[in-house]
Amino acid sequence: MPPGLTRRLLANTTKAFCFSLITMRKNMKQKYRLYRRNLNGNYYIQDNVTRKQESLGTSDRVEAHRLLHTRNEAASQPAMNLQIARAYLAAGDPKVASRIWQDVMAETTKNKTGPTRKKWESLMRNPALDELRTLRLMETRVEHFSKALETGRVGVNISLRRLHAFAVDTGWLPWPVMSRKRWPKITTGNKRGLTAEEHQRIVAAERDEEVRDFYELLWQVGGSQSDMAALTAENIDWANRTISYARMKTGSIAIVRFNETLAAILQRRGNTGFVFPMLAKVNQTVRGRRFGRLVARLKISGVTLHSYRYAWAERAKTCGFPERFAQEALGHASKAVHRAYAKKAKVLIPPLDEYERKFQAVELSNTPPAALPLAA
């Protein structure tokens, strides 16, 4: 072989080796590498540290290399990429870089009305949220939420979930801060309805006639304490023997027919103005504390004024009252909420053969199926 040709081959081999060495060292510094499993299939990337593989969802070579470059750039320069992301987002929303969590709190509260708004405003004043108020949405990390959630309070958990969902849904937060699996489970207290025996003890122990009638009304109607305390004589239709009122929480109209027991209570409450004038002047906290002191004196635990609604739902389910009527009476917008109220009801199921005999008797008498009794 001529000497000149030998020198050229040696030089080319050296160049190829150096180029391969430089490429290999460059790939070693990168977090991801690109590969393809078959000739016409999609491109994949592999994490050079964890060996985790992921499909790029494309078979286009140019697009695959672009995605690979983006991943490696994001891994090598996270701070720079955050600034780039902010620049892109600011083009569509100029406030994206300056918006803080207090803005989210104000916006979510603005659409609430009545008791719901007061409750929401109270949740937003929770000290556990203080460190988030001035924090920019774009700078929020998981540890910021985790610190607030360390209190273990149900209200904080619910508030943060709703604030986070609102920020993501509106596009104020470009990506979720915390995945669904990372959120602590919401655990509420043991809620139950009053028993008939407990209600009788409470009524017998209450000395004020107005308050006593108020508890009787809650037992008969199952309305919320705020709605029942705000009843006026105009809400009572004596001709049709109904009570109609608009729920403070939802604005929906509830119409309930009353029986002789409730009619006697309403008759002694007067024909003008508020049905319960003293209770209408105080807020729900005052009414709740008065009830709490009474049940504590009677050594009845685990109940509040709201337990009357649970009791009504449980009684309705126990006796086979149609669920759609019960749901309408309590003003529940969804079946799931109503069933949560009635879940502790003890339903006595009649024997099947006895139920079959009643069903056959109904068929023979041509009575509509809706009139079939649900219990023995």
| CA atoms 249, 253, 258, 263: torsion sign | positive
Helices 154-169, 142-149: axis angle to 10 degrees equals 150
- The pLDDT-based confidence of 355 (bands split at 50, 70, 90) is confident
pLDDT reported for residue 371: 47
Inside any domain, residue 190: no
Inside any domain, residue 20: yes
Inside any domain, residue 286: yes
Segment 340-364 shows an average pLDDT of 76
In this structure, the answer to whether residues 85 and 125 fall within a common structural domain is no
Copy the structure tokens of residue 316.
């309705």
Instruction: Report d(CA 133, CA 44) in Å as an integer.
Output: 42
Give backbone dihedrals phi and psi of 332, rounded to 5 degrees, phi first: -85, 130
Segment 331-335 shows an average pLDDT of 73
In this structure, the answer to whether residues 105 and 210 fall within a common structural domain is no
Give backbone dihedrals phi and psi of 320, rounded to 5 degrees, phi first: 80, 20
What is the identity of the amino acid at 112? K
Please state whether the predicted TM-score (pTM) of the whole model is above 0.85. no
CATH of the domain at 239: 1.10.443.10
pLDDT digits (tens, 9 = 90+) for 21-62: 445 445 446 788 888 888 888 999 888 888 888 888 888 888
Query: 255, 121, 270: which is closest to 209 by C-alpha?
Result: 270
Copy the structure tokens of residue 73.
């750039």
Contact 356, 341 (CB under 8 A): no
In this structure, the answer to whether residues 208 and 303 fall within a common structural domain is yes
Instruction: Report d(CA 2, CA 240) in Å as an integer.
Output: 119
Q: Which one of 92, 125, 156 terminates a domain? A: 92
- The pLDDT-based confidence of 197 (bands split at 50, 70, 90) is very high
pLDDT digits (tens, 9 = 90+) for 217-256: 999 888 888 889 999 989 998 988 888 888 887 777 888 8
Inside any domain, residue 277: yes
Inside any domain, residue 189: no
Contact 320, 221 (CB under 8 A): no
Residue 371 sits in which domain range? 346-376
In this structure, the answer to whether residues 301 and 239 fall within a common structural domain is yes
Inside any domain, residue 208: yes
Buried b / exposed e across 255-294, counting CB within 10 Å, b at 16+?
A: ebebeeebeebbeebeeeebbbeebbeeebeebeeebeeb
Q: Which one of 29, 62, 92 terminates a domain? A: 92
pLDDT reported for residue 320: 83
Give backbone dihedrals phi and psi of 242, rounded to 5 degrees, phi first: -135, 155
In this structure, the answer to whether residues 207 and 302 fall within a common structural domain is yes
In this structure, the answer to whether residues 208 and 336 fall within a common structural domain is yes
In this structure, the answer to whether residues 321 and 202 fall within a common structural domain is yes
% of the chain residues with pLDDT over 70? 82
In this structure, the answer to whether residues 329 and 367 fall within a common structural domain is no
Ramachandran category for residue 122: left, alpha or beta (phi over 0 → left; psi -120 to 50 → alpha): alpha
In this structure, the answer to whether residues 205 and 318 fall within a common structural domain is yes
Reply yes or no on whether the pLDDT at 101 is more than 50.
yes
pLDDT reported for residue 24: 45
Number of domains in the chain: 4
Inside any domain, residue 112: yes
Alpha helices by DSSP H, the chain: 3-29, 61-76, 78-92, 101-110, 114-124, 130-133, 142-149, 154-169, 196-205, 209-221, 225-229, 260-267, 277-280, 284-297, 307-318, 323-330, 335-342, 352-364
Give backbone dihedrals phi and psi of 136, rounded to 5 degrees, phi first: -70, 140
311 CB burial (10 A radius; 0-12, 13-18, 19+): buried
In this structure, the answer to whether residues 127 and 43 fall within a common structural domain is no
Residue 274 DSSP SS3 = strand
pLDDT reported for residue 351: 79
Inside any domain, residue 191: no
245 CB burial (10 A radius; 0-12, 13-18, 19+): buried
Copy the structure tokens of residue 328.
């309408």
Instruction: Report d(CA 280, CA 262) in Å as an integer.
Output: 19
In this structure, the answer to whether residues 353 and 243 fall within a common structural domain is no
Segment 1-15 shows an average pLDDT of 54
Q: Which one of 182, 208, 235 terminates a domain? A: 182
Instruction: Report d(CA 333, CA 303) in Å as an integer.
Output: 24
Instruction: Report d(CA 187, CA 153) in Å as an integer.
Output: 9
In this structure, the answer to whether residues 208 and 323 fall within a common structural domain is yes
Instruction: Report d(CA 182, CA 161) in Å as an integer.
Output: 11
